[in-house]
Each structure stands twice: as C-alpha cells, then as structure tokens.
Structure 1
Amino acid sequence: MEVQGKIKMIDETKTYGNNGFRKREVVITTEEQYPQHLMIEFVQDKTDLLNNFQVGQNVKIQINLRGREWTNPQGETKYFNSIQGWRIENIDQSVSNDMPPVPPADAFEPANDFNEEDHDDLPF
C-alpha cells in the first residue's frame, strides 16, 4: 500500500530496550477534501530513510498495516494498529525527472492561417 501527502513533522530516532530497537515517526497530511494527519513509523534500519527529508516536502510512502493483540492484567483483550513505512520518495522530484518540462503558453504561435475545410479529414 502507499500514501501520499506533505510532511508535517519528522521526529527524532528513539531507541528502546536492551536490544536497541529503533523507531522514528513522521506525520504526513494528505491532500484531499478532508485532509488526514497520518503518523507513520519507520523502524530499525528504515529510520535512516527519513534523514534526507524535511517538513513541507510532498512524499509518497510505501506502508504496511500492522496489528497486535494485548491482554492487560485484568484479562481484557486490547487491539492496536500501526502504520509502518518501508520506503519514502519525494513526489516533486520524481515528477520533474519523469516528465519533460512544459513550455510556457506564450512559446506557441497562434494558428492564424487555419482553414477548417482544408483540414477536415473526418469521414462524415
């Protein structure tokens, strides 16, 4: 799956436990009728992927949905969901590299000598 949006916040990398589990969170705001603020976590070596990004950039993030079950000491079962990113790319950069530049409108000359009868090649 993937999500697109503008980076609103990038958190610092945090380390947890004795094994050195690393996690870094990023919040993106989607651009739709009702914008959503989505918190996406990058874990372990994927935390470094966020080093080249900054607030305000438009990005596309490849994600996996994660869910887990937990039973509290009172015996109640709780469920938690998370969005885990594994790839991120700058949309603005990919658009400019994939598509040739569009010339400005004033770079074209108007067709003043156009005669519709000469160019009508429709069969009806």
Structure 2
Amino acid sequence: MSFEITGKFIAKYDIVQRTESFKTREFVIEKTEDIGGRTINNYVKFQCTQDRTAMPDRFNIGDEVKVLFNIKGTKWVKDGRENYITNLDAWRMEHIKLSQEDANMPPAFIPDAPPSEIVDDLPF
C-alpha cells in the first residue's frame, strides 16, 4: 500500500552504508496543518534505500514537496524480548508548484470517453 504527504523539505542527512551491499539515507519534511484555529507542525522523517538515496539531492531545503512512500515494519528478538521498528520508505519525491494563477483556474473538463465515442442521446 502506498501513501503520500506534502510539506516543506527541512533536512537531509548523509548516506549511511549499512552493509557492503545496503545503504540508506534519511530526510525530513514539515507538515503544517490548521486544526480548530491552531497551527500544528508535524515533522516526518523518511528513509530511502539503495539507488533512491540520491533522490533528496534534487531538492533544496525549504522546497514544497510531495513524498510517496510505503510503511514497512520489522520485528526481531534480542535477549528474549521482541522489538519492532517502523520505517516510512520513500520511493518518490516531487516538487509542488502552486502559483496563484493555477489556484484560480477552474478544473479542466475531461470527458469520460474520447470525443469520437460521446453519444448525444437527448430526446430534443
């Protein structure tokens, strides 16, 4: 299952070589929401792996971004005790470009069928 979130890109960390063949990188976005007249800031840390570790390099701190990610969980047992870790595994990032002109434009009309297949069956 895939999820997405938008927010301000606020931190990116160095690539960490976990094993000889596995590397990770973390980055953070800030998600700001108005709830009941209060501004709530949430800071969400993501992980990207392998060839996706270069993904945050295309973005500058302060950019508005959309992150597409999966939730992954791992369980392991240490000293007879179960431990769990949850990762937000980012697999795509996009710039969010909202201009005032775009915000004022009405949504485009896209018919359900191509024009050649639209049938006018009104009785008048």
Does TM, scored on the shorter chain, surpass 0.5? yes
Mapping of residues 61-100 of structure 1, within 5 Å: 61-72=67-78, 74-92=79-97, 95-96=98-99, 99=102
Q: What is aligned with 2:9?
A: 7
What letter corresponds to residue 18 of structure 1 in structure 2? E
> Larger C-alpha radius of gyration, 1 or 2?
1
Q: CA RMSD in A?
A: 2.0
Q: What is aligned with 2:29?
A: 28
Q: Distance in 2 between matches of 1:100 and 1:36?
A: 25
Q: Any idea what the Cα deviations from partners look like across 1:50-81, whole Å, max 9, x if unmatched? A: 11111101100001000010101x21111111
4+ residue stretches of structure 1 with deviation over 6 A? none
Task: Give the deviation of 1:18 after TM superposition.
Answer: 2.2
More strand by share: 2
Q: Distance in 1 between matches of 2:59 and 2:4?
A: 17
Q: Distance in 2 between matches of 1:88 and 1:101?
A: 25
> Is there any run of 5+ residues in structure 1 with no aligned partner, and where?
103-124
Q: Distance in 2 between matches of 1:26 and 1:17?
A: 20
Q: Distance in 2 between matches of 1:100 and 1:4?
A: 17
Provide the aligned length of Structure 1 versus Structure 2: 97
Q: Distance in 2 between matches of 1:9 and 1:84?
A: 16
Q: Distance in 2 between matches of 1:100 and 1:63?
A: 26
Higher alpha-carbon deviation: 52-61 or 7-16: 7-16
1:65–1:83 contact (8 Å) kept in structure 2: yes
- Determine if the alignment matches structure 1 residue 52 to structure 2 residue 58: yes
Higher alpha-carbon deviation: 58-67 or 42-51: 42-51
> Is there any run of 5+ residues in structure 2 with no aligned partner, and where?
35-39, 106-124
User: Kindly tell me: are residues 5 and 100 of structure 1, through their superposed partners in 2, closer, same or farther at Cα, counting changes over 3 Å?
Assistant: closer
Task: Give the deviation of 1:101 after TM superposition.
Answer: 8.1
TM-score, structure 1 as length reference: 0.71
